[in-house]
Amino acid sequence: RSRGRGRKNFALNMLEPLLTEVPEEGENGTKNFEEHQFIIEKKDMENYDKFPVWKIEAGRLQKYELVNEDGKIRHRAVPTYRTWTAAWRKQFSPIKTKLISQGFNSEIVEVEDEYFPRPSYKNSEISEPCPQVKELSAQQPDLAPSPLVAKERSDSESEEEEDEEGDDDDDDEKRNSESSESESESDIEDAPVHNFEPGKFIIEVKDLSNYESYPIWKIENGKMLHKYELIIEDGKIRHRAVPTYSSWMPTLRQQFKPIRAKLISQGFNKEIVEVEEPFRPKPPNDGSLERQYEDDPLVESFNIYMRIFLSQALESNFLSIIIATNDQFFLKALQTIDSLIDMKVNEIDSKVQWNDKFKDCLKLKPVMRELDRPNLKQSCQACENASQPAIKSIHLYGQPYDLSNLGENSVDPEENANVAQEFMIGKTAAMYVGSYHSLYHFKYHIYERCLAKINIIKESGNYLDNSEVINQCLQNRAWILKLFEDLKTLLEKT
């Protein structure tokens, strides 16, 4: 959908290509969901006066809208895309088309007559059932159905014979069209995995939306978690063991999800694994984010905001340049988002009297981990004059940086940025510390995610110049709008 607002044109929803399965021969010479194959949604097979068709292209579907040209019904390509997975085959049927015309960013096709959707009629309009299809519904007109319709009837009959399977398919279809949760989170939730045994892998719940740089953890003997960081190897997303550990206890289970990973290589002090497909975090692909946020008045500023940090990830002096040159196109959007974040940070400051040492560390260290620590006989270290008992421990670490241009700040050579500082916090601090830290370091974390996204694109093997890389990222609306949703959630949290 193109919104036509000034310099913005972010209608595309492009994701990294998925593997195309080997096509199977279908009825009447059609290929079953082959690359460049045209398909139609089954729900549109009686929408004969305005049905769209879709073309399969590199892990996505491009929409072709119905047009009346020279007195004939044809379909023109439009810049509207949907993601495509083999799991959605039951919702579509393959069709044949012929190319009518093709030009720059324009293509018109005509659906072959035998695949044209047929109008349906009421019972009173039918004198007798069509003799060419057994047990044809009384709602079908007395004429030979297209192979497309016949196949649809066959599919529906088989579904009636398998009621339970049919019910499951209906549920799946409903979830695909209405659910706002990502496919990956559903898979992680439902798939039988393990019960947090030593040697198994887990992912933090908060990283289920960190699609481009999520770490995973391996449960080790001795109540330890071993960290595996995301890498790109041979064009694939994998995870490599790093010498970073965290404590593990059964009370932390609610903060993690079990996953499966397969071993790729193993050597001295080095192990690389690959998370199995159903357990990889992915953005929602059902269009729910577009429907919810694409018309939000703040989205236009956020699109420019994202362009800034994608550019910063490609050129480390980009922020410094737009500040020095007073580039208002970028600075206006930057100030719009920053002012909303600052207002929310100040609002939390008015509710919580932070201890100065804790607050300074909170602002200095961009990475934070929370651990539940019940039954601690210690007072809160985060708030002034706090008498509340501590219920959590906060670990703060990471390289200090300049908030304006994201450049690294110099630190004491003897200080290790990766060594965490720990604070015990009470109930009040626990309510606000996560939001406060995420808001204050929002630019840093957006930059980190842009950097990771760009690395994935660059390691994919396709050479793109910087502007092409930025546009590819911005056109991935599910990714952009999920980050926008994260911001909105932080700003609206009370």
pLDDT tens across the length of the chain (494 residues): 444 444 444 333 333 333 333 334 444 445 578 888 999 998 888 776 688 999 998 778 888 888 877 667 888 888 777 878 777 888 899 999 988 887 655 788 989 888 887 655 444 333 333 333 333 333 333 333 444 434 444 444 444 444 444 455 455 444 444 443 444 444 444 555 778 889 999 999 988 888 878 999 999 886 789 999 988 887 788 999 988 888 788 878 888 999 999 999 987 668 999 999 889 888 777 678 888 888 899 999 999 999 999 999 999 999 999 999 999 999 999 999 999 999 999 999 999 999 999 999 999 999 998 887 776 778 899 998 777 889 988 999 899 999 999 998 877 666 666 677 899 999 999 999 999 999 999 999 999 999 989 988 888 777 888 999 999 999 999 899 999 999 999 999 86
Letter string b/e over residues 48-71, b meaning 16 or more CB atoms within 10 A of that residue's CB:
eeebebbbbeebbbbbbebeeeee
Q: What is the four-CA torsion angle of 345, 350, 353, 355, rounded to 10 degrees?
A: 30
**Amino acid occupying residue 89:** R
**Amino acid occupying residue 451:** L
Rounded to whole angstroms, the Cα distance separating 215 from 241 reads: 10
Burial of residue 195 (number of CB atoms within 10 Å: 0-12, 13-18, 19+): exposed
CA 480 to chain centre: 8
Count of Cβ atoms closer than 10 Å to residue 221 Cβ? 7
Helix residue spans in 253-298 (DSSP H): 288-293
DSSP secondary structure letter of residue 146: P
CA atoms within 13 A on the CB side of 58: 5
Rounded to whole angstroms, the Cα distance separating 66 from 269 reads: 59
**Amino acid occupying residue 135:** E
Extended strands (E) in 167-215: 201-204
CA torsion sign for 141, 144, 148, 149 is positive
**Amino acid occupying residue 122:** K
Extended strands (E) in 87-211: 92-95, 97-103, 106-111, 201-204
Rounded to whole angstroms, the Cα distance separating 328 from 335 reads: 10
Rounded to whole angstroms, the Cα distance separating 131 from 95 reads: 24
Q: What is the four-CA torsion angle of 7, 12, 14, 20, rounded to 10 degrees?
A: -150
Which H or E run includes 456? helix 442-458
Burial of residue 437 (number of CB atoms within 10 Å: 0-12, 13-18, 19+): buried
Both structure tokens of 306:
């994202």
Residues 33 and 23: beta-carbon distance below 8 Å: yes
Q: What are phi and psi of 434, to 5 degrees?
A: -65, -50
DSSP secondary structure letter of residue 18: P
Q: With a threshold of 0.75, does the pTM exceed it?
A: no
**Amino acid occupying residue 487:** L
